[in-house]
Amino acid sequence: SRRVSNWRATESLPDYLTRHNLPGLTEIDTRALVRHIRSKGAMMAALSADPQYSAADLVDLARAAPSMEGLDLVKEVTCSESYHWEEGVAQAWQHHLQSPISNLQSRPFHVIAYDFGIKHNILRLLTDAGCRVTVVPATTSAEDVLAMQPDGVFLSNGPGDPAAVTYAIEATEKLIDSDMPIFGICLGHQIVGLALGGETHKLKFVHRGSNQP
């Protein structure tokens, strides 16, 4: 909607997308789309605003898209070098996030965050939880991480097939063997599972509609 109603909002969603050069999809029945994916399973899609493409052309493009299985997309989205993160959650959102540790002047815990396509708000929350966060590229070795003497390691979210991110699985195995506290979410959580000897496979229906636990 172009009408901004939330008291924290400073611009509309269309204006935000335009400012960041991001695509958007409007004037469709999103609930019907969710029901279709929930019933038929995850599928490839093609979106275009170019009138030279017919609906049949776009269907052909979607069908020709490569499978996600075995696809390492992490190398395409990870950072190119390490950096320190210091930004916390915006003041307007902090009224429900207060904790004794968020008011500390110092950050007593040093956390290394592997960037597999990390969301910045995760870094903000780690900072507000009392962490000094160092973000490292996905290909960083366990030896390099341990040399930084962190208090813990975080494995981020990210795209693609976790089984294809073999370099991260290998590093995670070594970090686990070193007794380093480690946790992951999304793709990072799956990498922990693979490092412990588990297997992963893509769900047909994934998290759509009532299939989201």
Nearest by Cα to 184 from 146, 138, 130, 141: 138
Render pLDDT for 68-87 as a digit per residue (tens, 0 to 9): 888 899 999 999 999 999 98
Domain positions in the chain? 13-64, 74-195
Greater confidence, 51 or 168? 168
Which residues lie closer than 8 Å to 106 by C-beta, 6 or more apart? none
**For residue 213, what pLDDT is reported?**
40
Q: What top-level class would CATH report for the domain 74-195?
A: alpha beta
User: According to the per-residue pLDDT averaged within each range, which of 101-105, 107-111, 162-166 is highest?
Assistant: 162-166
Question: For residue 66, what is the DSSP state?
Answer: P
Question: H/E element holding 101?
Answer: none
Binning pLDDT at 50, 70 and 90, where does residue 103 land? Answer: low
Distance from C-alpha of 59 to C-alpha of 45, rounded to nearest angstrom: 7
Question: Helix or strand or coil: residue 135?
Answer: strand
pLDDT at 91 over 80: no
**For residue 109, what pLDDT is reported?**
92
- Residue 205: CB atoms within 10 A of its CB come to 15
Render pLDDT for 121-131 as a digit per residue (tens, 0 to 9): 999 999 988 89
pTM (2 decimals)?
0.80
Distance from C-alpha of 192 to C-alpha of 190, rounded to nearest angstrom: 5
**For residue 207, what pLDDT is reported?**
63
Partners of residue 184 on adjacent β-strands: 155
Binning pLDDT at 50, 70 and 90, where does residue 2 land? Answer: confident
Q: What's the token pair of residue 181?
A: 């506290």
